Structure 1
Amino acid sequence: MHAIRLHTFGPAENLTHETTDDPLPGPGQVRIAVRAAGVHLLDTALREGQQGPLPEPTALPTIPGREVAGVVESLGEGVAGLWLGRRVVAHLGFAPGGYAELAVTDVDRVHEIPDNLDFAQAVAMIGTGRTTMGILQFAELGPDSVALIPAAAGGIGTLLVQYAKNAGATVIGLAGGPHKVALVERNGADLAVDYNDPAWPGKVRAHLGGRPVTVVFDGVGGDVARESTALLGPGGQHIVFGWSGEGIHDGQPYLVEGVSEQVLGPVMMRKAGGPNPMRTLELRALTEAAAGRLTPAVQRFPLAEAAAAHRALETRGTTGKVVLEP
């Protein structure tokens, strides 16, 4: 099979498109003919040798990637034959191997893809969608809500805008540059503004006519977070799920005592509860997409151009969920 392999930690150019052995499904596993593989900003940090949330450092050489969608084409021992030929999507967990034409995973991780989703959209919902559902557990949105969403043209931001609008909230979307601002407008935000414009907070205040922001969904941090939280009214929420503006490697979130709440992975999982909270959130995300209430934005790259996809992510040159297609 063809796959993207990493032999040495470092820049995006270290990702190479190679031919390697086909993986074999073990007991309780399926092998998926990959049609779409998700790319996450965390992948860029792992590529450089950061350990991130992984329990152990990445062993080299490796095939990066932990989100795949495709067709089940081989079964391991003990897997029911009904899975053969099904369109499926799965998050591989801590096991890498997604940037490839074939990937194996435990059948317990697999979801059948709803008929109205293509493979790239399904990948977006299994990762980005799952995270969005986790974030939304911490806010009750309704007609009285005013939601401010930095990075509203990104994968999570796109879904947050849609969900908040469906809940009847007034939605303010921030994005960097006119192209991204236009995307946020088309996605349904009541107001879309460029956070590179120093006057953006004043534009938000003028649009709201004295109404305060009730919740900031913040995955950016930095100056954008400082200016966003200044727009919150009494009792407002600052929900922090990332700080890309501060750098993924050594940045720190911007937090306001008594206002900010960090809702990173383990916190989301505890809130979801149940015997398998991660799968619970995945099912919620796929259900929302199947019902047409959420439509993920996707930016596609050929598998062989994984290095270009990483560079685009690192320079904020992407919109929506980044996906590799073999």
Structure 2
Amino acid sequence: MHAVRLYAFGPAENLTYERIDDPVPRPGQVRIAVAAAGVHLLDAALRAGHRGPLPERAALPTVPGREVAGVVDALGDGVAGLWLGRRVVAHLGNAPGGYAELAVTEVDRIHEIPRNLDSAEAVAMIGTGRTALGIVQFAEPGPDDVVVVPAAAGGIGTLLVQYAKNAGATVVGLAGGAEKTARVRADGADLAVDYTDTAWPAKVRAHFGAPGQGPATIVYDGVGGEPARQSVALLGPGGRHLVFGWSAEGIGQGEGYVVEGVSESVLGPAMLRKAGGLRALELRALAEAAQGRLRPAVTRFPLAEAAAAHRALENRGTIGKVVLEP
């Protein structure tokens, strides 16, 4: 099979597309003929050599990627034959191997893909979708809320904008440039703001007729850095700042945008306890997409162009979830 391998931590150019041996499923595993593999900002951080939230850095060489969708084409011992030939999606957990034409995973990780979703959409929901639904548990938006979403054209951001609008909230989406702000408006945001314009916070206050006070009640923040600091400044009394990422500052950097009594980190065990576990979040995410309530945006790249996909993601040149297609 063809796969993307990483032999040395470093820049995106270290990702190489080559032919390697086909993986063989072990007992309790299935093999998936991959139609779509998810690319995450965490993948780029791991490729650069950061450990991130994982227990340790991947052993090299490695095939990156932890989200795949496709058709089950082989079964390990002990796996029910009914899975053979089914369209499935899976998050591989801490085990990489997704950037490939074939990937193996435990059978208890897979979900059948709803009939009306394609593989790329399913991949978007299995990781990014489950995270978005995990985040909103901590501050469910409603008709009385004004929600600010930095990186509103990203994979999680597009879903948070849609979710908040479905709940009746007023939504302010931040994105960089005309194409991305247009996408944010299309997702239903009441106000789509280009955060590369340094006057954007004043424009938000003017829109709400509140020049001297913060109009926002919730900030869903996966960005950090200056956009987060400016967004938090828009919060009124009792407002909440939910932190789930760091893209503006880089993994492992300082958290000067966190405000005591206002900010709350929502990734990790607390999210899973609220949801009843990862699988419950995954099932809910797939159902939300299948029923049309959430519509993942996808930017697609050929598998052979994984390095270009990483560069585009790191340079904020993508909209929605980035997906590789063999």
Q: Normalised by the shorter chain, which TM-score bucket?
A: over 0.9
Q: Is the 8 A contact 2:52 2:251 kept in 1?
A: no
Inter-CA distance 221–192: structure 2 relative to 1 (3 Å threshold): same
- The secondary structure found in structure 2 opposite 1:299 is strand
Deviation at 1:12, TM superposition (A): 0.8
Distance 1:133 1:256 in 2: 23
- The secondary structure found in structure 2 opposite 1:38 is strand
1:138 matched to 2:138: yes
Residue number in structure 2 paired with 1:225 = 228
Residue number in structure 1 paired with 2:70 = 70
Distance 1:213 1:324 in 2: 36
Residue number in structure 2 paired with 1:39 = 39
Amino acid corresponding to residue 226 of structure 1 in structure 2: R
Distance 1:92 1:251 in 2: 29
Residue number in structure 2 paired with 1:269 = 272
Residue number in structure 2 paired with 1:292 = 292
1:148 matched to 2:148: yes
Distance 2:267 2:232 in 1: 19
Q: Is the 8 A contact 1:149 1:160 kept in 2?
A: yes
Moved more, 216-225 or 67-76: 216-225
- The secondary structure found in structure 2 opposite 1:312 is helix
Matches within 5 A, 1:98-117: 98-117=98-117
Distance 2:226 2:8 in 1: 34
Deviation at 1:209, TM superposition (A): 2.4
Deviation at 1:271, TM superposition (A): 2.2
Q: Is the 8 A contact 1:201 1:228 kept in 2?
A: yes
Moved more, 63-72 or 41-50: 41-50
Tell me the alpha carbon deviations over residues 240-265 of structure 1, each in whole angstroms, 9 at most, x when there is no partner.
Answer: 11121112243436211111111122
- The secondary structure found in structure 1 opposite 2:255 is coil
Inter-CA distance 2–253: structure 2 relative to 1 (3 Å threshold): farther
Deviation at 1:56, TM superposition (A): 2.4
Matches within 5 A, 1:219-258: 219-252=222-255, 254-258=257-261
Amino acid corresponding to residue 134 of structure 1 in structure 2: G
Q: Is the 8 A contact 1:90 1:111 kept in 2?
A: yes
- Give the number of aligned pairs: 323
Matches within 5 A, 1:182-221: 182-210=182-210, 212-221=215-224
Amino acid corresponding to residue 282 of structure 2 in structure 1: E
- The secondary structure found in structure 2 opposite 1:245 is coil
Residue number in structure 1 paired with 2:170 = 170
| Unmatched segments (≥5 aa) in structure 1 | none
**TM-score, structure 1 length as denominator?**
0.97
Distance 1:258 1:285 in 2: 30
Residue number in structure 2 paired with 1:79 = 79
- The secondary structure found in structure 2 opposite 1:60 is coil
Moved more, 40-49 or 261-270: 261-270
Moved more, 252-261 or 106-115: 252-261
Residue number in structure 1 paired with 2:322 = 322
Residue number in structure 1 paired with 2:181 = 181
Amino acid corresponding to residue 70 of structure 1 in structure 2: G
Distance 2:234 2:8 in 1: 45
Distance 2:102 2:96 in 1: 12
**TM-score, structure 2 length as denominator?**
0.97
Distance 2:202 2:11 in 1: 39
Residue number in structure 2 paired with 1:278 = 278
1:259 matched to 2:262: yes
Tell me the alpha carbon deviations over residues 35-93 of structure 1, each in whole angstroms, 9 at most, x when there is no partner.
Answer: 00000111111112211122222111110000000000111111111101100000001
Residue number in structure 2 paired with 1:306 = 306
Q: Is the 8 A contact 1:6 1:14 kept in 2?
A: yes
Distance 2:192 2:136 in 1: 21
Distance 2:29 2:104 in 1: 7
- The secondary structure found in structure 1 opposite 2:88 is strand
